[in-house]
Amino acid sequence: MAKAYDHLFKLLLIGDSGVGKTCLIIRFAEDNFNSTYISTIGIDFKIRTVEIEGKRIKLQVCPTPSAAKAKLLGKDFPSRLELLASISLCENFCFRDTAGQERFKTITTAYYRGAMGIILVYDITDEKSFENIQNWMKSIKENASAGVERLLLGNKCDMEAKRKVQKEQADKLAREHGIRFFETSAKSSMNVDEAFNSLARDILLKSGGRRSGNNGKPSSTDLKPSDKKNTNKCSLG
- Which residues form the interface with ligand GTP (CB under 6 A)? 17-23, 35, 37, 39-40, 63, 66, 155-156, 158-159, 185-187
Nearest to ligand GTP of 57, 192 (CB atom): 192
From the CB of 43, what's the least distance to ligand GTP, in Å?
A: 8
In the complex, minimum distance from the CB of residue 73 to ligand GTP, in angstroms, rounded to a whole number: 12
Helix or strand or coil: residue 157? coil
How far apart (Å, rounded) are the C-alpha atoms in residues 128 and 199? Answer: 25
For the CB of residue 27, give the shortest distance to ligand GTP in the complex, in Å: 8
Q: Which is nearer to ligand GTP, 28 or 104 (CB)?
A: 28
Nearer to ligand GTP, 66 or 198 (CB): 66
Pick the closer one to ligand GTP by CB: 110 or 190: 190
With helix as H, strand as E and coil as C, how does 173-223 read? HHHHHCCEEEECCCCCCCCHHHHHHHHHHHHHHHCCCCCCCHHHCCCHHHE
Tell the smallest beta-carbon distance from residue 66 to ligand GTP (Å): 6
Q: Contact at 8 Å (CB) between 102 and 161?
A: no
Q: Which of 13, 21, 18 lies closest to 128 in space, CA to CA?
A: 18
